[in-house]
Structure 1
Amino acid sequence: MKKIYFNGKIITLNDKELMADAVLIEEGKIIKLGLKDDLLKLAEGEVELIDLQGKTMLPGFIDSHSHILAVAQTLMIVNLSEVNSKEEFIETLKASLKNNPPKDGEWLIGFGYDNTKYEDQEHPTKFDLDKVSTEVPIFVSHASGHISTTNSKALEAFGYVGEDYEVPEGGVVRTVEGTNEPNGVLEENASLAPEKRKVIPTPSVETLLNCIKKAQEIYASYGLTTAQDASIDENFNGLLNLAAQKNELIMDIVGHAVQHVTLKLLKNEGTPKRKYYNHYKLLGGKTWLDGSPQGKTAWLTKPYYEAPEGENKDYCGYPTQEDDVVTEYFRSLIENNIQVNVHCNGDAASDQFIRCYKKALEMTNNNMDLRPVMVHAQTVREDQLDEMKEIGIIPTFFLDHIWFWGDYHYESVLGPERACRISPAKSALKRNMNFTLHQDSPVKMPNQILALHNAVNRETQSGRILGEDQRLTVMEALKALTINAAYQYFEEDEKGSIEEGKLADFVILDKNPLEVKASEIKNIKVLETIKEGNTIYKAK
């Protein structure tokens, strides 16, 4: 059926025609923009009239970096993101173990703890988790996703026992002071390497499919019509393909395959743009070159403002891979016309990305527009932005860092000077670079309105402004969440703005972000999310 949306503030994000009076859609696509009466004459036949009642309509938001399957998994595990002390951490896990005991062979899994909230700012160790259980393996991931803490039973399963054990390259097993005995805290590949990820048992397919459904509902509630999973392995790829076959995907999901299976899952199609199958497509590859700033595992060129305990004052974090491995991965993708997404938080990691990608381009002599993506780009420098523009690298910024961890970055991680340049979106804009915004869910929920708020305000929870000169206008930030993100996915001709011929992907808000006070943007509510003409979320 044809539909006409009217009587609202329709922001098209099309520079040629920023506002529209009404929009006519049919079969999931935008047919025409114009005056309501003119569209009625054009439509003919049966037409559903949808009165926006003065509310604001925008193109559907597009998630430029997250892990929707990890969000689905968090629905099955213990959320520790709101815990404010080690004591509360332990009690929360104890309560979960008592109320929802794992079945035989299963682990107690938690996520989202943030040690910076604790009085001593220390990570919980196996000695803390052993108070919960020494019989059930326990694994809890840090809010950053790059550090985890485990009990003795889980360490045993990982193979980290005694003082003589092997750690995958790019990983660190923290130890009891003065010994090589693991203390339970694992960094990077110590738990993220493929052979280590396989150690943790997975839930049933039915349970996972149900949680994928719930995760999509969460994304839709934030106005998203396209989501991402940047950690696709063979199991995840099979799961999303199964969900697609069963017609259980209500939004588009873009996958990026992890490094060791990228070429196994992706074939050379002669073009980096790929087609969806029932709302799922595998678009590119993914690797990471360092860790997280708040975990102090990001790889910097200059030392941390305050070094972690046990490290010297020259500590700069560390890489996860050697140059030759990174270059070879890039070369293989470029030869096969495959986009790459690269996790870089520290500027030393950004240097490695730029250096190795340049070398890989020289080796392949491929001039195709592959739109490589630098994920996070937290501490990227001005000179690096110049090089990125020359190569065509798209930065996707995690500006929520300023709200959630900005004070910690200012006081401990980076210090005042570097903290005020974190996620330099305005610098990218001044170079006419395409850039996007993300929240790296489940690190933080995919709250696009909060991303908009933080890009415009750059204010920490204490009220400190980090980089006033890096603030974006509301319109600039909206484009980063829509049309720019569509470009990142090679979909700028299909999504990201309200234009004739594009998909009828919309979000309806209770207030116009172009009109409210900057300090009030975060209070805007998503009322409805529409994917190809069908409502996939409606506020109660």
Structure 2
Amino acid sequence: METLYHSGRILTMVEEEDAPEAVLVRDGRIAAVGPLDQLRVRAADAATEVDLDGRTLMPSFIDPHGHLLQHGMLASLVDLEHARSIADIVTAFRDRLAQREEGDRSPLVGAKYDPQMLEEGRHPTCTDLDAVSTDLPVFALHRSMHVAVGNSVLVDGAGLTAHTPDPDGGRFGRFADGTPDGYVEEHPAMAAFAEVLSPGDSGGLLPAGVADPLLAAELAVADYLRHGITTAQEGAADPATIEGLVGAARAGTLGLDVVVYPVVQSGTSAFDAHPEFAGDYADGLRLGGYKMILDGSPQARSAWMSEPYAPIEGDEHPGCAYPIHTPAEVEAFVRAVAEQGRQLIVHCNGDAAAQLWVDTAERIGAELPALLEARPVMIHAQTVRDDQLERMAPLGMIASIFSCHTWFWGDVHLRNFGPERGRRISPARSALDRGVRVTLHQDTPVTPPDMLLTIWAAVNRISRTGQEVGPEQRITTWEALRAVTCEAAYQYGEEDSKGQLREGMRADLVILSGDPLATPPRDLRELAVLETIKDGETVFRA
């Protein structure tokens, strides 16, 4: 099968000035890039010609960090994203409860509430959620997926009292008298509710999630493809998530490539347990390495910082938050992964977490070079400092930056960190200027898998209220495009087959409504994905 694309803007992502007339695709690969008349000679008589009619053809987007299956699972939960008050949260839960069949006693689980968007400006409490039910567990997951709130059924079922100590790497919210208020911060604290929500839960990001991973995968894949993404990630997989994705792959429901990173606290035996996915893709799935989570969320004030957060109402004497793992645990995890020669991607939102990862990578990398040869990644890198970036560059450590934080939570960061630190959130410019490779991600389902919004955010750095958030950290459109194509391919070790339009590369393509390089920066998010092509086959058309 051959397809010849022509008569539009073609971005090869090799050189910014490239302007070839045509691209010839043969049997899922790029057969040639060049002048239209020459490619017509090379094409078979039966080749299909696609007149781009001025639209833009470029490599499809590669998501360097997210949670694909979790994104699909959220589709079955109570949607709290559009709540603008705690009363709206209660109403959303009550509406779902009213739709249930008689006798359904399963927990009510909702997701994506954001205190920034609530008129009360705070998290709900167990008392608030008791207005939904005092008989069934009610669990509301914050948009960051790092904090949540449960009703009194969960608090009591977990056995939490005023005398319950905070777990290592987590925190329980409390009323003024010290009794639990239902707020659970970070996964060690959220785990207190897991056994009540779903007995035997394996400790994944979503307790009491959907039971059908095939449906979740199908829903998520469709959303990624409509946003022009053909390589995605499951970036914190517990054993149940891995099994769900393996089932989806074997059922043939993955319409894109998915790279899986099991969390290290679940062990480092995934490659032995699933050898068929340890090498190249099998049915669209492969294991990429391991994931370690070192801290929490900056918008939830649980990212581990070297200096205290700025005081705000309700937190007048803030601290620096805390690590998820001790240095000894981090040492053991990193060493175990390095001994296997696997890639390690590490969640670091706070600069103290970044410091621990860089220190550990330097020390163990000098002893076990395979750690650095596998292209280690700092995931999020929200508050990484310049001195840390200067140490990351010689390590070959990649900064995968959550750039659309400036849009969704830029105002919150300025409040949480103050103007000096807040304006440096997601410091892509500083990273590039210091020779650090940069990729950009959405951390879906925390934010939608919208690469064009991510590019717009990195180039403009504007908050939802219209405030500029550190304009000196802006990057160019070309740099942003590289970060979600060829640089993302490099992060996965797939730069020889993805991310550019060159002969022999996989024909993973996207057709956009306009040319990003010719589009004014403020208008980049107005571009639309018109068609997504995976291995030469159209998998989405608007």
* TM bucket normalised to smaller: over 0.9
* Mapped partners of 1:2, 1:211: distance in 2: 33
Shift of 1:409: 1.3
Shift of 1:43: 2.2
Question: SS at 2:479's partner residue?
Answer: helix
Pairing 1:296–2:294 present: no
**Equivalent residue runs for 1:308-319 within 5 Å:** 309-310=314-315, 312-313=317-318, 315-319=319-323
Pairing 1:324–2:328 present: yes
* Mapped partners of 2:438, 2:473: distance in 1: 13
* Mapped partners of 2:166, 2:103: distance in 1: 29
- AA aligned to 1:141 is L
Alpha-carbon RMSD across the aligned residues, in angstroms, is 2.2
The equivalent of 1:370 in structure 2 is: 374
The equivalent of 1:441 in structure 2 is: 444
* Mapped partners of 1:234, 1:403: distance in 2: 33
CA contact (8 A) 2:86 2:120 kept: no
CA contact (8 A) 1:268 1:338 kept: no
The equivalent of 1:90 in structure 2 is: 90
Shift of 1:169: 2.3
- AA aligned to 1:242 is G
State which of 341, 346, 350 in structure 1 corresponds to 2:350: 346
CA contact (8 A) 1:55 1:509 kept: yes
Pairing 1:155–2:155 present: yes
Shift of 1:37: 2.4
CA contact (8 A) 1:331 1:363 kept: no
- AA aligned to 2:472 is D
Question: SS at 2:37's partner residue?
Answer: helix
The equivalent of 2:176 in structure 1 is: 177
State which of 374, 378, 387 in structure 2 corresponds to 1:383: 387
Shift of 1:121: 1.7
* Mapped partners of 1:5, 1:38: distance in 2: 13
Shift of 1:40: 2.1
- AA aligned to 2:481 is L
Pairing 1:9–2:9 present: yes
CA contact (8 A) 1:225 1:505 kept: yes
Tell me: CA distance 1:293–1:16, structure 2 relative to 1, closer, same or farther (3 Å). Answer: closer
* Mapped partners of 2:378, 2:371: distance in 1: 19
* Mapped partners of 2:102, 2:435: distance in 1: 52
Question: SS at 2:8's partner residue?
Answer: strand
* Mapped partners of 1:263, 1:202: distance in 2: 24
* Mapped partners of 2:103, 2:374: distance in 1: 46
Shift of 1:136: 1.6
Question: SS at 1:4's partner residue?
Answer: strand
CA contact (8 A) 2:372 2:397 kept: no
CA contact (8 A) 1:402 1:459 kept: yes
Could you state the TM-score of these two structures normalised by the residue count of structure 1? 0.94
- AA aligned to 1:455 is A
Shift of 1:164: 4.6
Question: SS at 1:263's partner residue?
Answer: coil
Please identify, of 510-519 and 459-468, the stretch whose mean Cα deviation from structure 2 is larger. 459-468
The equivalent of 2:271 in structure 1 is: 266
The equivalent of 1:234 in structure 2 is: 239
Shift of 1:46: 1.6
**Equivalent residue runs for 1:101-250 within 5 Å:** 104-157=104-157, 159-165=158-164, 168-179=167-178, 181-188=179-186, 189-192=188-191, 198-199=200-201, 200-204=207-211, 207-250=212-255
The equivalent of 2:204 in structure 1 is: none
CA contact (8 A) 1:331 1:361 kept: no
CA contact (8 A) 2:9 2:54 kept: yes
CA contact (8 A) 2:343 2:371 kept: no
Pairing 1:473–2:476 present: yes
- AA aligned to 1:393 is M
- AA aligned to 1:392 is G
Question: SS at 1:31's partner residue?
Answer: strand
* Mapped partners of 1:145, 1:102: distance in 2: 30
CA contact (8 A) 1:174 1:184 kept: yes
Question: SS at 2:361's partner residue?
Answer: helix
Question: SS at 2:245's partner residue?
Answer: helix
CA contact (8 A) 1:160 1:182 kept: no
CA contact (8 A) 2:365 2:372 kept: no
CA contact (8 A) 2:377 2:400 kept: yes
Tell me: CA distance 1:324–1:307, structure 2 relative to 1, closer, same or farther (3 Å). Answer: farther
Tell me: CA distance 1:300–1:176, structure 2 relative to 1, closer, same or farther (3 Å). Answer: same
State which of 401, 416, 431 in structure 2 corresponds to 1:413: 416
Cα offsets for 1:117-151 (capped at 9, x unmatched): 22332210110111101112111110111000111
Shift of 1:363: 4.3
Cα offsets for 1:153-203 (capped at 9, x unmatched): 22344x233345465421211122222x32111011211589758444454
Please identify, of 170-179 and 386-395, the stretch whose mean Cα deviation from structure 2 is larger. 170-179
The equivalent of 1:398 in structure 2 is: 402
* Mapped partners of 1:231, 1:274: distance in 2: 19
* Mapped partners of 1:49, 1:102: distance in 2: 57
- AA aligned to 1:54 is G
* Mapped partners of 2:222, 2:370: distance in 1: 40
* Mapped partners of 2:419, 2:20: distance in 1: 44
Pairing 1:360–2:364 present: yes
CA contact (8 A) 2:338 2:371 kept: no
Please identify, of 188-197 and 91-100, the stretch whose mean Cα deviation from structure 2 is larger. 188-197
* Mapped partners of 2:389, 2:26: distance in 1: 42
* Mapped partners of 1:169, 1:395: distance in 2: 27
Pairing 1:512–2:515 present: yes
Question: SS at 2:288's partner residue?
Answer: strand
CA contact (8 A) 2:148 2:183 kept: yes
Shift of 1:266: 2.2
Tell me: CA distance 1:11–1:420, structure 2 relative to 1, closer, same or farther (3 Å). Answer: same
Tell me: CA distance 1:456–1:102, structure 2 relative to 1, closer, same or farther (3 Å). Answer: farther
CA contact (8 A) 2:337 2:371 kept: no
Unaligned runs of 5+ in 2: 202-206
Could you state the TM-score of these two structures normalised by the residue count of structure 2? 0.94
Tell me: CA distance 1:514–1:8, structure 2 relative to 1, closer, same or farther (3 Å). Answer: same
Please identify, of 486-495 and 354-363, the stretch whose mean Cα deviation from structure 2 is larger. 354-363
Identity of aligned residues (%): 37
CA contact (8 A) 1:273 1:489 kept: no
- AA aligned to 1:527 is L
